[in-house]
Structures are given as structure tokens and as C-alpha cells.
Amino acid sequence: MSRIGKSPVKIPSGVEVKVEGNVITVKGSKGELTQELDSCIKSSIEDGILTFTRESDAPDHRAKHGLYRALAANMIVGVSEGYKKQLEVVGVGYRANASGQKLELSLGYSHPFVIEIAKEVKVSTESAKGKAPLITLESIDKQLVGQVAAKIRSLRKPEPYKGKGVRFLGEEIRRKAGKTAAK
């Protein structure tokens, strides 16, 4: 059996979960999310606990069992607490500026990048003298926050020699030694 799929999901107080056919709707203080389940996975709610079952032990069904359980658990955490990702922009002259749902990044290229962020994600930037600019992304959808953060990071990935680029807060960059002068 799938270890992830068979573990039940506890529904905290203040979160309302509805199962209608193969669609799960989760409503909480921060918002509402829905997820459609595959026909091979069934879900049920008993005493504030959400459980998932599969119709057979086929490899495809076993994989989806754990997947949909994890997606439902992420939805419950999202509508009750929310998700937050922070990126730091490291490099001389690298800047980040947020105005509304637009994020403007100067990353050492000849032109700045202007990114339109999805309306479900709240974006903010923070710049302090002597520190790398910080980009904060917040949303109730874990997948969307991760996707937006990965898109921003892909514009200038951290390089291994000086560590310049956009990285997640606390991310360790494996550094390489540069060239040594010949004698």
C-alpha cells in the first residue's frame, strides 16, 4: 500500500471540506480551492478526517493514491495557513521592485525584466542597504507559488563562481574555485 495515500488527513477547525463525486472543495479563512480526482480514487470524510481509497493495486492507481492525498493535504494547509516563498537577488546592481502585480527585476542584462504575477499570488519586495533584495511570494496554492518562484529564479540562476543570481532564501550554492594564475 501507498504509505502516503493511506495516511488520513486531519481537517482542522475553521476549514470546510466538501466531497461531491470526484471533486474536492476546501474552504477556509484565506480562500477556497478545488481539485478534481481521478475516477480510480475515492475519498470520504468521517469525524473530521479525510481518507482516500483506490480501486486496485495497479502501479498507476498506487501512484495517484499518494498524489491526490498530498494535493488535498496541501489545499487544507493553504486555506488555513497559506504558503510563502522568499527569493534573494544576489549581485552588484541587481534590483527587484514590486508594484501591484508587476515585478521588475534588474539582473545585469541590458534590459530589465517585467513579470506579470498571477492575481492569486501576493508579491512584495524588500531592499535594505548592504543586504540583497528580497522577493516574497504568498498564496494559498502551493503549486502556484512554487511555479512562480521557479520562473523568477530561472531568469538568472545562481552561478557557481561568485554566487550571483536569484536564489531561494537559505539555498546553499556549491561554489567552484576560479582559475589560478600560471607561474
Cα–Cα distance, 57 to 16 (Å, whole number): 30
Amino acid at 53: T
Where residue 21 falls among pLDDT bands split at 50, 70, 90?
Answer: confident
Q: Enumerate the CATH 3.90.930.12 domain ranges in the chain, comma separated.
A: 3-80, 83-168
**Cα R_g (the chain), whole angstroms:** 21
Domain 3-80 has CATH 1.25.40.320: no
Where residue 1 falls among pLDDT bands split at 50, 70, 90?
Answer: very low
Domain 83-168 has CATH 3.40.50.300: no
Residue 5 pLDDT > 90: no
According to DSSP, the β-strands at 122-126 and 113-116 are unpaired
Q: Could you report the per-residue pLDDT of 130-153, keeping only the tens digit for each?
A: 899 999 999 999 999 999 999 999
3 state DSSP class of 88:
strand
Q: Could you report the per-residue pLDDT of 60-119, keeping only the tens digit for each?
A: 998 999 999 999 999 999 999 999 999 999 999 899 999 999 999 999 999 999 999 999
CA of 120: how far to CAs of 135, 137, 139, 140, 144, in Å? 16, 10, 6, 8, 8
pLDDT at position 183, please? 63
Query: For residues 117-151, b (16+ Cβ closer than 10 Å) or e, as one string?
Result: beeebebebeeeeeebbbbebbbbbbebbeebbee
pLDDT at position 2, please? 57
Residues facing 84 on adjacent strands:
138
Q: Could you report the per-residue pLDDT of 50-62, keeping only the tens digit for each?
A: 999 999 888 899 8
